[in-house]
């Protein structure tokens, strides 16, 4: 009974939260993709104006394939906009474009959480790849110290998701402030907020999932250790 309840709390509930968050962002994006912004600016033009206004003429903008594949690449110094955002004049498109420009502004101004996230990404990727093999080896060999070392990978993932939250929320705040000076109506601004807030919930869900996965692994290792 205890195990089933614990599994429900640490696995099922986070999974349901993740599904809810993804449905929320999909629904918001679909709704506001059908509303054309009154200023007629495309995602590309919006991004170019924001970057140029902030002295970032050196940041390029590229179109990439896929749906919601938009991102800022600090190494290439380029904002990449998906096909549904680059050429679209929808409220959703300009919101997403402005958000990605917010990341470029963070990088240009030395926003501390952005620096921290960039620093821990390589360590997090390395740790996450080793986590499962180390934990499995530790459990199979009853070498629980090794399994607990593997947990460091899950700790790093949770830390990365924690640092990601302020980065994403700040980029969205920058987007909303910047768009308020670009001749869009209050209703359109509200639509942008709804799209970006929905997207932010996916990062909250990712943090919850990372923390609960860590706790789940701690529980499994602890029980196996106690039975030995």
Q: Write out pLDDT tens, residues 82-133.
A: 999 999 999 999 999 999 999 999 999 999 999 999 899 999 998 889 999 9
**Is the per-residue pLDDT at 2 higher than 90?**
no
Chain mean pLDDT for the chain: 91
Range of the domain at 40: 2-227
Choose the weakest-confidence range: 10-19, 110-119, 189-198: 10-19
Alpha-carbon distance of 122 to 131, in angstroms, equals: 14
Catalytically annotated residues: 100
Q: Residue 60: name the closest of 90, 100, 96 by CA.
A: 100
Choose the weakest-confidence range: 10-24, 33-47, 55-69: 10-24
Count of structural domains within the chain: 1
- Report pLDDT for 155: 95
- Report pLDDT for 10: 78
For the entire predicted model, the pTM comes to 0.86
What is the average pLDDT across 182-194? 91
- Report pLDDT for 228: 65
Alpha-carbon distance of 98 to 14, in angstroms, equals: 29
- Report pLDDT for 4: 62
**Is the per-residue pLDDT at 47 higher than 90?**
yes
DSSP characters over 54-68: TT-TT-EEEEESSSS
Q: Residue 72: name the closest of 38, 41, 90, 98 by CA.
A: 98
142: left (phi over 0), alpha (psi -120 to 50) or beta: left
**Is the per-residue pLDDT at 7 higher than 80?**
no
Burial of 123 (0-12, 13-18, 19+ CB in 10 A): middle
- Report pLDDT for 101: 96
């Amino acid at each position: 009974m205890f195990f089933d309840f614990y599994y429900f709390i640490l696995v099922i509930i986070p999974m349901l939260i993740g599904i809810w968050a993804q449905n929320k962002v999909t629904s918001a994006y679909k709704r506001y993709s059908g509303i054309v912004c009154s200023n007629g600016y495309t995602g590309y033009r919006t991004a170019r104006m924001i970057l140029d206004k902030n002295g970032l003429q050196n940041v390029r903008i590229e179109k990439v394939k896929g749906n919601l594949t938009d991102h800022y690449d600090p190494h290439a110094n380029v904002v990449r906009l998906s096909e549904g955002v680059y050429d679209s004049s929808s409220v959703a498109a300009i919101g997403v474009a402005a958000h990605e420009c917010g990341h470029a502004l963070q990088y240009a101004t030395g926003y501390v959480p952005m620096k921290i996230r960039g620093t821990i990404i390589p360590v997090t990727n390395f740790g996450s790849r080793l986590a499962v093999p180390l934990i499995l080896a530790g459990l199979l060999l009853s070498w629980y110290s090794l399994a607990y070392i593997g947990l460091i990978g899950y700790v790093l993932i949770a830390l990365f998701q924690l640092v990601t939250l302020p980065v994403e929320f700040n980029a969205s705040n920058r987007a909303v402030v910047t768009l308020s000076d670009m001749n869009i109506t209050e209703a359109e601004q509200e639509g942008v907020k709804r799209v970006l807030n929905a997207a932010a919930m996916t990062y909250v869900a990712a943090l919850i999932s990372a923390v609960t996965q860590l706790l789940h692994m701690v529980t499994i290792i602890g029980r196996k250790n106690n039975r030995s």
